[in-house]
Every structure is written in structure tokens, then in C-alpha cells.
């Protein structure tokens, strides 16, 4: 599989422009999805949906993301990351706009699940693949900055969503989100450009010099994307991603309901969610630097242990300051792990397949985002609390913390 679309002559510093575009487009797309928890209660109340049924909407979204991501990754590697991002930006905006017109649950599943989900599936793989190919050094830092766009965007989008819902209603809020995604993602994608061909060779050499990491694929021995996907290293990476997204998706969807159930106002809960976004941005950039310094394996391990501790703390949180501590800890953990999986993948696999591999990662590992919200919603409907779902999540985080070292041993 090769990238056969034309390459434009661009200056060497343009890689940091790509990183900035990654942060902006990725941040807007995913921060709008992460704000669904603010729409959750008013939407489910008006449509008379239980929390389990309402939680099906983001679960269907994640199913669409996970199954469409590999296809978008293949298209981006073969043809054009710019075109994929533009198309997906249009689909995301369409999903938000159509969701604002719903009158029943099945329409929510169709518009929010399918339209928006298919569009979201094509945001990550092209941007991660493109950014990875641009950098021969400091790739973890560059990926961290790109992923940090989500945290920065949440800082603004969560309060904006709350204000729109409280002032104009959830339907108008969804329509405004549609216009924002159409404008930012489509315009930003127009400036995406491919790196020089020489970057692929120099990047492979830089990765092979990293202590403790031996690339599986080199320009002379590179395997196909499918051979890489079925390797033990990739399967372990997928399970790492599954555990990580399992925890994040539960918190994104159910944090606001959890906080308001114990007496916090919607404004306070949205503020904590914004704190998570701010801190995660710092964690992603810092996690990228940390991964470049001590290795992405150790950085991932530390992040997952911190995430487990934050989830246990959340079980006992009953006041604003306790939720504040959770927001800081969970934000650091979320940010710290995010660049590590892509960084490990870029170090051991052929970068020419990076978008395809990252898309395939979502098909298997991303299923945690499908299971997470649904499990938490079901557990709440059955028991009236989130104790089972959050504690089980913490255990999973602890169990997978050491998996990156198995990947190093396998290589």
C-alpha cells in the first residue's frame, strides 16, 4: 500500500503547521462529541428515554467510528488525507444538524450514531498518519500537541454547550455545533499537505536508533498493512486502546449525570469537565515529551495507573473539591496515555501504513468506547449507582498497564 497522491513542495517547518491543524480539527470534532453528556439529560427527558436507551446513541456512534476508521485510513494512505478530512467534516456537521430534528430514539441512533459516527471515524487516522510521517524526531511531542487540541477545545466547547442548552435548548445547541464543525474542520483540512518522501527513510533510521525499540518494518523488510495488523504487537496495542477508551467513554458520557446526582449543578459539572480538558491538554503535550524521554511504554504504564486511581476516587466523590481533584488526576491520565499508543505504533511499523494501522486500531481497540457508556448506563439502571462500572474499569486499567513491556519483549 502506498501513498500515491501528489506531493507539494513545502518548507521543512510545515510539519508544525500540520501539528497545529491536527490540534484544531481533531479538537473541534472530538470536543463536540465529548460534550454529549451535557445534552444527555434534557434530551433523554424530552424523548422519555431511560439512561440505558439514551446511552445507546453514543454506543452506536462508537460502533460507526470503529468500523469506518479502517476504511478511512486505507483511503487516506492510498489517496489523500486532505480529502478524507473534508468529507468527514461535512458528515459530522450533518450528523449534529439532523440530530437536532429528532422526535424519537431511533432517529437519534440513526443521525447521531451513523452520520456523525462515520464522519468521526475519518478524523483520527489521516491526521495521526500524516503527523507521524512529518516527524523524524520529537514525534511523541508532535502527536501530543495534536491530541491536546481535544482538551483545549473541550475547555471552550463544554461551557458553550451548557450555555446553549440552558439558554436556547438542546436542539439549537446541536445546530450550532453543526455550523462550527462545518466551518472549522472543512477549512482547516484545505491546508493539509504531505511531507517529503525522504521523511519516510529518515524516520525509520531515527526509530531504529531509539533505545529499547527495534522497528519491525524497515524500508527493505516492510510487510503489508494486513501482515502488521495480525502481528502479536498490534493485537496487544489494540487491547491497550480498548482498556483506555473503555474508561474515557464512560466518564465523557456519564460524568455530568454522576456529578449532578450527588448535588452538583450542571454548571459545576461542566466546569469540572472543562478542567479535565485543560489538564488533559497539558498531559498530552507533556506525555508526548515524557514518552520521547523515558519511552512510551513506561509513560503509558504510569498513565493507566493514575487513571485507575482517579476512577476509584470518583466513586467516593460527593463535593465540588473532590470532583475537582478527580478532574485534575483523570485529565493528566487521559492526556498522558493518548500519544503513547500511536508513538509505539510509529516506532515499530511502516509509516506508509500508519493511517491504515491507526484506523484498524479503532476497529478492535475502539470497541471499548462502545461498551463503556452502555455498561455504565445498564449498571446504573440496575443498581442505581456507578460503583460496578467505575470499579471494574479501574481494575482493567491496572491489568493493562504492563502490556507495553510485553510488546517490547516480543520485538
Ranges 107-111, 272-276, 384-388, most confident: 107-111
Query: What is the per-residue pLDDT for 401?
Result: 93
- The predicted-structure confidence for 293-305, as pLDDT tens digits, reads as follows 888 999 999 999 9
Instruction: Answer yes or no: is pLDDT of 185 > 90.
Output: yes
- The predicted-structure confidence for 34-57, as pLDDT tens digits, reads as follows 788 888 888 888 888 887 788 788
217 sits in the region (left: phi over 0; alpha: psi -120 to 50; else beta) called beta
Tell me how far apart the alpha carbons of residues 236 and 269 are, in angstroms, rounded to a whole number: 35
C-beta of residue 5 within 8 angstroms of C-beta of residue 80: yes
Tell me how far apart the alpha carbons of residues 322 and 324 are, in angstroms, rounded to a whole number: 5
Beta-carbon count within 10 A of 384 CB:
9
Beta-carbon count within 10 A of 320 CB:
16
Query: What is the per-residue pLDDT for 214?
Result: 46
Tell me how far apart the alpha carbons of residues 281 and 74 are, in angstroms, rounded to a whole number: 28
Query: What is the per-residue pLDDT for 212?
Result: 45
Residue with cell 487521559: 334
Tell me how far apart the alpha carbons of residues 124 and 359 are, in angstroms, rounded to a whole number: 8
Residue with cell 493511517: 355
Query: What is the per-residue pLDDT for 332?
Result: 92
Q: Which of 16, 2, 4, 3 is nearest to 191 (CA)?
A: 16
0.85 exceeded by pTM: no
**101-115, 160-174, 330-344, 368-382: least confident range:** 368-382
Residue 386's pLDDT band (cuts 50, 70, 90): confident
CATH superfamily of 14-208+219-410: MFS general substrate transporter like domains (1.20.1250.20)
Average per-residue pLDDT for the chain: 84
Write the CA distances from 30 to 74, 134, 153, integer angstroms.
21, 23, 8
C-alpha cell at 65: 467510528
Tell me how far apart the alpha carbons of residues 224 and 221 are, in angstroms, rounded to a whole number: 10
Write the CA distances from 380 to 107, 282, 373, 389, integer angstroms.
24, 32, 11, 8
Amino acid at each position: 500500500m502506498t501513498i500515491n497522491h501528489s506531493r507539494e513542495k513545502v518548507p521543512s517547518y510545515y510539519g508544525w503547521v500540520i501539528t497545529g491543524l491536527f490540534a484544531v480539527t481533531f479538537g473541534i470534532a472530538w470536543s463536540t462529541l465529548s460534550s454529549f453528556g451535557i445534552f444527555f439529560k434534557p434530551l433523554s427527558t424530552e424523548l422519555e428515554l431511560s439512561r440505558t436507551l439514551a446511552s445507546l446513541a453514543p454506543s452506536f456512534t462508537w460502533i460507526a467510528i470503529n468500523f469506518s476508521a479502517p476504511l478511512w485510513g486505507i483511503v487516506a494512505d492510498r489517496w489523500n488525507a486532505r480529502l478524507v478530512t473534508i468529507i468527514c467534516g461535512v458528515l459530522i456537521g450533518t450528523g449534529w444538524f439532523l440530530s437536532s430534528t429528532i422526535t424519537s430514539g431511533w432517529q437519534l441512533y440513526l443521525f447521531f450514531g451513523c452520520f456523525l459516527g462515520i464522519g468521526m471515524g475519518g478524523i483520527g487516522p489521516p491526521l495521526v498518519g500524516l503527523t507521524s510521517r512529518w516527524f523524524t524526531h520529537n514525534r511523541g511531542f508532535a502527536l501530543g500537541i495534536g491530541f491536546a487540541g481535544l482538551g483545549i477545545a473541550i475547555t471552550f466547547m463544554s461551557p458553550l454547550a451548557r450555555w446553549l442548552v440552558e439558554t436556547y435548548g438542546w436542539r439549537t445547541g446541536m445546530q450550532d455545533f453543526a455550523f462550527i464543525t462545518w466551518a472549522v474542520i472543512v477549512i482547516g483540512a484545505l491546508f493539509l499537505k504531505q511531507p517529503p518522501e525522504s521523511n519516510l527513510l529518515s524516520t525509520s533510521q531515527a526509530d531504529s536508533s531509539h533505545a529499547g525499540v527495534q522497528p519491525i518494518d524497515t524500508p527493505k523488510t516492510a510487510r503489508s498493512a494486513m501482515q502488521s495488523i495480525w502481528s502479536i504487537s498490534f493485537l496487544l496495542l489494540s487491547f491497550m486502546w480498548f482498556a483506555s477508551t473503555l474508561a474515557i467513554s464512560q466518564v465523557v458520557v456519564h460524568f455530568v449525570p454522576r456529578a449532578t446526582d450527588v448535588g452538583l449543578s450542571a454548571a459545576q459539572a461542566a466546569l469540572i469537565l472543562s478542567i479535565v480538558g485543560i489538564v488533559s491538554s497539558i498531559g498530552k503535550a507533556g506525555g508526548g515529551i515524557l514518552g520521547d524521554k523515558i519511552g512510551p511504554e513506561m509513560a503509558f504504564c504510569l498513565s493507566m495507573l493514575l487513571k485507575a486511581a482517579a476512577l476509584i476516587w470518583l466513586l467516593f466523590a460527593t463535593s465540588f473539591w473532590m470532583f475537582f481533584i478527580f478532574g485534575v488526576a483523570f485529565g493528566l491520565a487521559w492526556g498522558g496515555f493518548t500519544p503513547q499508543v500511536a508513538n509505539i505504533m510509529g516506532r515499530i511499523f511502516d509509516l506508509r501504513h500508519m493511517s491504515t494501522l491507526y484506523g484498524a486500531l479503532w476497529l478492535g481497540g475502539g470497541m471499548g468506547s462502545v461498551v463503556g457508556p452502555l455498561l455504565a448506563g445498564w449498571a446504573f439502571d440496575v443498581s442505581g449507582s456507578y460503583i460496578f462500572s467505575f470499579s471494574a474499569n479501574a481494575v482493567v486499567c491496572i491489568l493493562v498497564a504492563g502490556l507495553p513491556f510485553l510488546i517490547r519483549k516480543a520485538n
